[in-house]
Chains A and B, each alone.
Chain A
Amino acid sequence: MTAVIETTGLGKQYGRKWALRDCALAIPGGHVVGLVGPNGAGKTTLLHMAVGLVTPTCGTIRVLGEPPAAGPALLERVGFVAQDTPVYPRMSVGGHLRFGAWLNPDWDSGLARRRIEQVGLDPRQRAGSLSGGERAQLALTLALAKRPELLVLDEPVASLDPLARRDFLRALMEAVAEHGLSVVLSSHLVGDLERVCDYLVVLVASRVRLAGEVAALRASHYRLSGPRRDPGTLPASQEIIEESHTDKQSTFLVRTDGPVHDPAWTVTPVGLEDLVLAYMSRADDAAARRPRLGVVS
């Protein structure tokens, strides 16, 4: 499968601070990719570079094989829903659809109208008076109706109530089912991921910590729990992601390619949410070097 977004050594510096650093990704097409990380991790920076709103400081990025926003043709093939779903407040919903039609040569106005009707928006209503969920649906419609190959969304559901969030994700997944487009979706909420994403990128403190297919990640991570053990005694093939100890018991979250044979362990699978949190806190600890809860030395 060809990569929809490919980066090598990508970085962006603002003043002295690096918003993104050493980013090397090859995000495959035909997937719904979740870009997860805490606020300020660099997700928005990465996505803005992918759609051509920001220029990298170093490294390269290619979207659908070309430099971002290389020309009108590429702009047409990539749809973007920005954070907080910006709309023109004084323009009506119908006006936004006309805006889309005027600015995008391959605009599917039938699709746009159907979606607006389905969501229940009044074409005459001003976009400024829409609720957060309705605005998100409008922004999604604008991005989908230009029939992109790749849809990039920056925290589209962060400020929505649970029902609006579910509706939005449902609409997005229906569009994926219908049109087969690739999606890259960033979020600082880990909960919705498992339903929706089949490829995951974890970004913490401006670096990529984890990237891979969800099925492969689940298959290669286990939680091992058993009598108290020194981490050094684990085989080298088992990479420790997270560990916690009491005086009698040790629990490890490991990444390994082979099966776990040691009978002393109780081996349980790791849920996606726990997996992501483990990687996020591992990066955090490395940065802060602070003692973790539960460690009794």
Chain B
Amino acid sequence: MTGLPLLAVALVLAAGPADPARDSPLGRAIAALDDEDVPTAKALVEPELAAHPDDPATLTVAGVLCFHEQRYPEAVELLRKGGLATGAIDYLTLAKAARDVTVSHARAEGEHFVVSYPKGKDEVLVPYILETLEAQRRALQEDLGWAAPGKVTVEILNDTRELARISTLTESEIKTSGTIALCKWNKLMVVSPKALLHGYDWLDTAAHEYTHHVVTARTHNNAPIWLQEGLAKFSETRWRGPGGELSAWSAGLLDEALAKRALIPFAKMHPSMAKLPSQEAAALAFAEVAVAVEYLEKRGGRALMNRILDLVAEGVDAEPAVARALGVPFDAFMRDLERYMAKRPSPGGKTDVAAEKLRFKGDAGHGGAHSEWAEIPDPKAREYARLGELFRARGRWVPARVEYARAVARVGRGIAVLSARYAQAALETGHEEEAEAALAEALKKSPQHARLHLDLARVHARRKAWGPAKEQLLAANATDPFDPEIHAGLATAEAALGNAERAAREKRFAELLTRADEGPR
């Protein structure tokens, strides 16, 4: 968020003392862009450009505006013509990169969103992301009293390399912190789940980024990182529920950090969560800020939060704004918050910290398909699991089930990969209830594990319980949507539930994914 003031400084220096001053149209346009208020900036720049079509500063600001409007070829042209440096952010390079990355994209428009996505199997993301964002838009409008005018663009990217190209983050920062999506420059940038070995919660992530978009606009981009991320994290599941969900993993991290007194101070979260040193640190930071928002919600509901946001929008710093809204000093708030965190009910049990880490494809550091087995903590259980795997690979389901069961008996059902396999073997040998129990238990610890949802959907499908089956398939889809079985299952479930149109769509998606030749998922 510091790019635009620097741009202003650069332009001032370049254009001389007279123009553009902060109160000039260009200056105000830059300020509007800084707040990601594109309509205002547009209203200011367009007359200027008409009046001074050759003025370098005008051309440059117009280029930046076009970049914010995702009109990348025009942005490149204007920035090149303007020829002025744009401060810390090289908009010309970014515009070129964005142009190149999106040049062959397909586009799909919803009521309030436009999705730009790579042609091919990413098409299966489109209806879901549109539905999610519309739902999130409605929810946030209700919560925060604001909704983005016009259509917000969502760019889906093939991998983290593309995200690095069109953002100011490096690929290493992205992978280290697990930053998989960004909201910046009046758009949402989301990496396709196909870039990860087992996908990720891409729908919640899209909703999270849209929340940033709303908060940025709502506070004129004055909200600090902790508040931004806290609201975004807290609200990322609003599209499908009341919000404020905290995964067992995040809660576990928070518990551990509290016990060790190793919470990450809000100040260290600046300038970006993506700059934190590890995925665990980032997850902990997210957990802290989400619980902070949860606490504020508990204290004063939406009214309190909107009061804080109003104050921040007025230019009051977040900390005094919180203090004023709550009527207690910020330090007291922080102490109360810590006490709240400590008292907050925890999912309990030993947290499998590594289980929810993002695993990027082609990244040896994150391991291959086998590496997740190493996460079974008990060596003997790992041995049984390995024996189970040996039998599974040979289609010997009876002995596989016996061995998996022995592993589960030692480490419990909390390890997703083990429980999924155990359930599969149990299903194959006709022990449906055993499978269901194992999956349900595992899902408590790993609610985002697509395989578990899929296996549970299979159990329901066997019983022709299409409603629950659909629910599980959608949950699997919300993490790893490129498994054709999910869409084939949805097609069957939707058909059984009488949703012929959706059934046809899912059938088409299943076929698309089956024949997709874009390499391994």
| Chains A and B are bound partners | no
